[in-house]
Amino acid sequence: MSCPEFKRFGFLFLSGELSRDEKRFYRAHIKECLECRQELFDARTIMKTIKNRVVLERPGKEARESILKKIRKERVSFFEKIVDEIKSALLPRRLIIGFSSAVVVVVLIFFGVQYIHHQKIMDVDRALVLKWDDDFYSNVEWMDSEIDRVKSGELLANYFAVEYEESGSDDWMSIMSNDFYLIRGAVETLMETFYGI
Amino acid sequence: MFMDKSKGDAELVRAYLSGKEAAFVKLYNKYERPLFSFILRFFKNIQIAEDVFQQTWIKVINGLPDYEERGSFSSWLFGIANNCSIDYIRKRKRSKIDESRDAEDLSMYADPDGDSEREFIEDEERDFLMRAVDRLPEDQKRVVLMRIIGDLPFKEIARALDCPLNTVLGRMHYAVRNLKKIVNQNMGRI
């Protein structure tokens, strides 16, 4: 009948696997326990004897080379497996890329059509603008001629003639003094507007 | 001591996985003799031992990406070797050729025509204690050989054999007791 402490600690003590506290405890125990000391001695002697007598064999050269060759082959296949895994991992990404490309193409087509349509509208607008420009410049020409007329006094004379006829007054001076300032203001506004003078 | 050893192995495994083939050759060289000797003690036939040895290393290579560093590399390696040995014995048991043979009698794999085989057996006959180890029950023999040839700590043996530490210690205890008995019967007390 063995000491239960030997079953628990004996072989772990011999293999150096006990913690510091366990080792301290078991050392104290074997000082007292003759049975444990005997078991330890027998176990250590037997294991040491076997260890000394055991011959570590090597596999044959051919076997060794075959293993190393297989290891390399397996290594290659191992890397092939990794490549396959990467490929399979990329498969969904490929789908995503395809889908994204399709979306991009659709978006490009949409905006392309929009652009062409917009260009057409722009052409129409440009034509309208040009037409407006023509009108504007013809208006400017008309205004210029009107201003020339103002400058030359033709319009003023016409105006005074109309004023005189409508008022029926003989007082030329009052008519002229009243209207002169109004007309001068109008002329100045016109000059400022069109010529910045 | 054990931690440093397993730490070094783990570094070699990482180096191999990162592409350094030399790291694996280093690992192989380190365990070649203990592992082959461990397998050879079960089969007593160099050819079979070499087959099982090769299978073990191929399984190791295939399993490296999934190798977890929680245990030591040596316990993982010997665990695989142990399983490969058991698988081989099972396959042989199943095959019709060896149906009549007793799987427990490990000398059944001895090849009488092989010179190296004969030398190996002759050496063994000279060594009484080693023959005593061979006569141990399988589960006890595995623990003894993993401890002595593989130099595995008992905690790692428990991991390799996938059984509780107390079971391993119990097997070792019975193995030593049986060896003592065998030795006492044949040679007197050690």
Q: ipTM score of the complex?
A: 0.73
* Cα separation, B135 vs B42, whole angstroms: 11
Sign of the alpha-carbon torsion through B123, B125, B130, B136: positive
Chain A residue numbers with beta carbons less than 8 Å from the beta carbon of B2 are 17
Which of B61, B176, B190 faces A78 most closely, judged by CB atoms? B61
pLDDT greater than 60 at residue A115:
yes
Which of A16, A56, A72 faces B33 most closely, judged by CB atoms? A56
CA atoms within 13 A on the CB side of A29: 20
pTM of the model: 0.58
**Residue ranges of A 106-125 with Cβ closer than 8 A to chain B:** none
* Cα separation, A185 vs B160, whole angstroms: 113
Q: Does A168 touch chain B (CB under 8 A)?
A: no
Q: Do residues A18 and A9 touch, judged by C-beta distance below 8 A?
A: yes
* Cα separation, A19 vs B66, whole angstroms: 31
What is the 3 state secondary structure string of chain B? CHHHHHHHHHHHHHHHHCCCHHHHHHHHHHHHHHHHHHHHHHHCCHHHHHHHHHHHHHHHHHHHHHCCCCCCHHHHHHHHHHHHHHHHHHHHHHCHHHCCCCCCCHHHHCCCCCHHHHHHHHHHHHCHHHHHHHCCCHHHHHHHHHHHCCCCCHHHHHHHHCCCHHHHHHHHHHHHHHHHHHHHHHHCCC
Chain A residue numbers with beta carbons less than 8 Å from the beta carbon of B153 are 15-17
Give the residue with greater pLDDT, A69 vs A45. A45
* Cα separation, A192 vs A186, whole angstroms: 10
The reply to whether residue B54 touches residue A66, judged by beta carbons under 8 angstroms, is yes
Q: Tokens at residue A122, please?
A: 């722009």
Residue type, A178: N
* Cα separation, A11 vs A15, whole angstroms: 6
The reply to whether residue B62 touches residue A43, judged by beta carbons under 8 angstroms, is no
Please report, rounded to a whole number, the percentage of residues in chain A having pLDDT higher than 70.
66
Q: Which residue of B has its CA nearest to A16?
A: B153
**Cβ-Cβ contacts under 8 Å for A159 (sequence gap 6 or more):** A179, A183
**Block residue for tokens 């150096």:** A16
Q: Beta strands of A46-181 (E only): which ranges?
A: none
The reply to whether residue B46 touches residue A60, judged by beta carbons under 8 angstroms, is yes
Give the least confident one: B1-10, B87-96, B144-153: B1-10
Region B133-154 average pLDDT: 91
Region A142-162 average pLDDT: 69
* Cα separation, B143 vs B179, whole angstroms: 13
* Cα separation, B75 vs B149, whole angstroms: 12
Give the least confident one: A26-30, A139-143, B130-134: A139-143
Tens digits of per-residue pLDDT, B51-108? Answer: 899 889 888 888 887 777 667 889 999 999 999 998 888 887 776 554 444 444 444 4
Give the residue with greater pLDDT, B146 vs B71. B146
Q: How big is chain B, counted in residues? A: 190
Please report, rounded to a whole number, the percentage of residues in chain A having pLDDT higher than 90.
11
